[in-house]
Amino acid sequence: MKTAGMTRETVTARLRAHGIQPTHQRIEIAHALFSRMEHMSADQVLALVNERHAETSKATVYNTLKLFVETRLVREVIVDPAKVFYDPNTTPHHHFFDVESGEITDIDAADISISGLPALPAGKVAAGIDLIIRIRANA
């Protein structure tokens, strides 16, 4: 995942590759995420895309993030009871979550193995496996 050369053109191609009509707003939202490669809340995305001049509404940010999640362009991260974070990193990985600062850090899933999982309930398939290590300052 090269993040430095993440131009608007690269982002546009990526949207197309996921079958997403690349509109102005979607390009800006994707660019905000992929040029930084950081976990961001909807609010942070909204603030970022409107930094220079307002051009994207709250509704569109929410619509678009939902679309991105559905098309697996980004991943939802549910660790903070107050809000959802969006993660431009879609490779298998887990998270540290600092319960005091709210900071989220990636843990590569390649290094980790989880064994002894029970069978899924009948008729169900796994939609995702989330491992969250909640951490706080050693006091």
Minimum Å gap between C-beta 45 and a second copy is 16
At residue 51, the 3 state secondary structure works out as: coil
What are the contacts of 19-25 at 24+ separation with CB within 8 A? Answer: 19/71, 20/67, 20/68, 20/71, 20/73, 24/55, 25/49, 25/55, 25/56, 25/60, 25/64
Q: Does 79 bind DNA (CB under 7 A)?
A: no
- Minimum CB distance to a second copy, residue 132 (Å): 4
> Is residue 9 at the binding interface for DNA, with CB under 7 A as the rule?
no
Footprint (CB under 8 A) of a second copy, residues 79-118: 79-81, 84, 96, 98-99, 105, 107, 111-118
* Contact flag: residue 67 with a second copy (CB under 8 A): no
CA distance 75 to 14: 15
Q: Which residues bind DNA (CB under 7 A)?
A: 20-21, 23-26, 41-43, 54-60, 62-64, 66, 81-84
